[in-house]
Amino acid sequence: MTLLEQLRQARTLSDFAIILGYEPKKLSYLLYILPKEKPLYNQFSIKKRSGGERVISAPCEELKELQKRLLNLLDKCSQEINASKSKNHNSISHGFKKRHSIVTNAVKHKNKQYVFNIDLENFFGTINFQRVCGFFVKSREFQLHSKIAEIIALISCHQGSLPQGAATSPIISNLITHILDVRLVKFSTKIGVFYSRYADDLTFSTNKKNFPIEAALKSIELKHQWIIGKDLNEIINRSGFKVNSSKTRMQYKNSRQEVTGLIVNKKINTKREYKQKVRAMVHALVHRGEFNIFESDSGMYVKGSLNQLRGMLSFIESINPRDGCSKANEKMIGRDIYHKFLFYKYFYFGDKPILICEGKTDGVYIREAIKWFSGRDEFKGLKFDIFKYSKLNGRVLGLNGGYSDLTKFIAQYLTFFNVNTAPSSNMPVIVVIDNDDAAKKILKDERNENRDFYHKVKNLYVVTTPLVGTEVESEIEDLFKIEALRIELNGKTFHKEKDLNDGKHYGKHVFSEKIVKSKEYNIDFSGFEELLKRIQNAIKHFETQTNENRKSSIEPIN
């Protein structure tokens, strides 16, 4: 029986509590006793960018958890419903939904003659307690018992309507507003315009010579002003909503057209002003070590955090060149500003030493080796981060793993480092590579010295894997005991080269995940002791040099 079927068959609070994973007594307490003991919501206001204030109602921890469970239940039920519908059924509304965003909402309206935007007034507040109850009872998809619908409304409503700040408000508003979407799609198709909705933001666009008067028409009293068409306004009112007339606007092809904050004239793009603001923040960060950001709550500029700035950069970077989006973002952010930010974050101002391994699996080996040696006093204070290879870091920093990327990174490191003039965190960056032909090319004549580490420039070091026995080369897998390397998985043996036979062998990724990280095989990491000592010695060398430089800089001049 599916969750939706269980929900339809529920008749009592006990039935509903079991579906949510609560004891009936606990759910009864949360709904009827807790509200008498303390306020369920903390209300506060934040300033809107457009002026005025928005009231936020933040639920207490107990109600917050209950709403999260209800959200999860309704989300799964919605997935069941959408699975039986056409693809277009789920592509009208783009707010608060997985795999939907302001980008998917904007794409439909790019390169159009006219773009018409309207807002629904008091969106959440319009959806009151009775409306929530009525929807879940009358909806063809849900058809719930009136008692269950009432409980859902009790959990999700505050002061008689959906509150801004509750986890359940977005999904319930989308469910209830779907009837409006269906009507507007039918209406838009009839008059020849495109339609989409993001929360309370409705957008209509067309390449027709004249915008259909059924949807919008020029105001007689006010020049350059447009008002909503009679037919469109009637559909919205009949669906239980009202248009915010102060936010109605028509945008022409020969001027800047925006949809949910994105430019849609020819290519999807972020606003130039936004990119310039982010560029200025990164510039301040790498040169002063801090930047300011506008806080809407207080209406003042405050010191920004790295996470905030990364979020802004990620937003710009996400509006990427695919699907007709602008290449200007890639040029301005991906290859320039974002690179400066990530270099500063990882290599210039890290809070711990960071290792850049030659491959993804090397980091797994070293991390597990540290755990194995955790009881040893000599490695007790050895702490470091391991650089994470990801699509973003590969695209922006050019680091995807392997000899070629690391060679280029080391060669360009000083240039990138010197871009920064802010105080650094004085933490070393250690590149860990196999002691093979690639190391010869990276270290050149230095490798013949077979040192613990190689100090390249500034805070950058290179550490090679130690040689094993009488061998003249080594790879990190050579540090494992031979017994670990001979473990069979489903009749397959380990093969560390790329040209493995899938029918006979498993590779490095499987070895790292299924064997190295598994407690089942009790892997012996004693062979990693020398490598960890080399890493530790590189860190100590940098600390010593840093302390000596600090002392010399404060010594009085005779």
- Residue-level pLDDT at 315: 86
Domain-wise residue ranges, the chain:
1-87, 90-127+162-267, 272-334, 350-480+524-553
pLDDT of residue 519: 84
Residue 547, classed as helix, strand or coil, is helix
For residue 357, give the nearest of 305, 430, 420 by alpha carbon: 430
According to the model, what pLDDT value does residue 542 have? 95
Residue 496 gets which letter from DSSP? -
Number of Cβ within a 10 Å radius of residue 230:
11
Per-residue model confidence (pLDDT) at position 412: 95
- For residue 296, what pLDDT is reported? 63
Radius of gyration of the chain from Cα atoms? Answer: 30
What whole-number distance in Å separates Cα of residue 111 and Cα of residue 263?
10
pLDDT for residue 302:
87
Query: Judging by beta carbons within 10 Å of its beta carbon (0-12, 13-18, 19+), is residue 496 exposed, middle or buried?
Result: middle
Six token digits for residue 481:
């005991």
- The structure tokens 């999860």 sit at 72
Q: Give the H or E element holding residue 284.
A: helix 272-288
Q: Report which secondary-structure segment, H or E, holds 74.
A: helix 61-83
Q: Give the residue carrying structure tokens 């280029």.
A: 408
Residues 429-479 pLDDT 10s: 999 999 988 788 888 766 566 688 999 999 999 999 999 888 888 999 999
Predicted pLDDT of residue 87? 57
Residue 548 has a pLDDT of 82
What CA–CA distance (Å, rounded) separates 318 from 429? 28
| CATH no., domain 350-480+524-553 | 3.40.50
Give a three-class secondary structure readout of 360-397.
HHHHHHHHHHHHHCCCCHHHCCCCCEECCCCHHHHHHH
pLDDT at 145: 96
Residues of the chain with pLDDT below 50 are 321-325, 329-332, 334, 558
Is residue 516 within 8 Å of residue 523, measured between CB atoms? yes
Residue-averaged pLDDT of the chain: 89
pTM metric for this prediction: 0.76
pLDDT at 555: 57
The pLDDT score that the predictor gives to residue 553 is 61
Q: Quote the CATH superfamily of domain 90-127+162-267.
A: Reverse transcriptase/Diguanylate cyclase domain (3.30.70.270)
